Structure 1
Amino acid sequence: MSIKIYGIKNCNTMKKTFDFLAEKGVEYDFIDYKREKPDAVLLEGFLKKTDLASLVNKKGTTFRKMTDEQKSALENEETAIPVLEENSSMIKRPVIVYKDGSVTLGFDPEEIEGHLK
C-alpha cells in the first residue's frame, strides 16, 4: 500500500504537500473530497488515530459561516461526523495515512518526512 492523501485538490496547503512529496520522489494515492465525499467509516478511522479537535478545520470560511448549533455539533464525535460528511472542507488538510497506518494532519514537512522513513 502506498500512502494515501485526503483533501481538496485546489487547496494551497494540498499543493505544497504534493510539491513536497514530488521532490522526495514519494508515490501516493490522492482522494479528493470533492469527487469522493468522506463517509462515516473513513472519518471514524481518522478519529481512531487523531482527536476531533485536530481533525476539524476551524480556520476556514466554512466554519465561520456555520450557525452556533452546527459549531456546537463539532464538539462531539457522534454529532460531528455527519457535519464533516456534508462539509468536507471542514476537515483539516491534508490527512495523510502512511503505510504503517499512522496519520498526520496538515502540512508539516518535518513530520511528514519522519513518517516516510
Structure 2
Amino acid sequence: MSEIALYGIANCDTVRKARRSLDAAGVGYRFVDFRKDGLEEDRLRHWVEAVGWETLVNRRGTTWRQLPEDQREGLDAERAIPLMLEHPALIKRPVIEHQGGVRVGWNSDTATALGAG
C-alpha cells in the first residue's frame, strides 16, 4: 500500500485512537497536525471534491457551536472552505489520504481498510 497520510489535531481523542491503532498494527503513516502545520486550500478542496464539504464539517464540536449564526446559516462549499481554513477544528478528524482515496473519521471499516483492524 502507498503511504498513508493522517491529518488531524494532535490532542483530538479520535486522532489519538487512530494513531494508536495504526501503530499497534505496524502500519506506517505520516501524521500532519493541521492546526499546528496549517492546511493548504488545494488539499482541502481535494477533500471536498472527494467526500463533500458536509462530511468534512464537524457540526458537533465546540468550534461549530461558537460560530456566529450567520456563518452557520446557508452554508455551502464555497463558504465552508474558508471557514475550515480559518478554523481547522471545524474539520472532522482524522482525514486520511491513502491509496483508496480519502476517508474521514475513524471506525472499524476504516481500520480494516488500512490494515489496522
Query: Is the structural similarity TM-score above 0.5?
Result: yes
Shift of 1:111: 2.4
Stretches of 4+ moved more than 4 A in 1? none
Q: Distance in 2 between matches of 1:111 and 1:42?
A: 20
Q: Distance in 2 between matches of 1:52 and 1:112?
A: 22
Which residue pairs with 2:92 in the alignment? 92
Shift of 1:115: 4.1
Shift of 1:39: 2.5
Q: Distance in 2 between matches of 1:86 and 1:105?
A: 19
Structure 1 counterpart of 2:36, one-letter code: R
Structure 1: which 5+ residue stretches go unaligned? none
Alignment of 1:16-95 (within 5 A): 16-72=17-73, 75-95=75-95
Q: State the aligned residue count.
A: 115
Shift of 1:42: 1.0
* Equivalent position SS for 1:113: helix
Once the two structures are aligned, what percentage of the paired residues are identical?
31
Structure 2 counterpart of 1:60, one-letter code: G
The alignment's C-alpha RMSD in Å is 1.6
Is the Cα–Cα contact under 8 Å of residues 104 and 112 in structure 1 kept in the other structure? no
Q: Distance in 2 between matches of 1:45 and 1:116?
A: 24
Moved more, 84-93 or 29-38: 29-38
Moved more, 77-86 or 107-116: 107-116
Is the Cα–Cα contact under 8 Å of residues 20 and 109 in structure 1 kept in the other structure? no
TM-score w.r.t. structure 2 length? 0.90
Shift of 1:99: 2.4
* Equivalent position SS for 1:63: helix
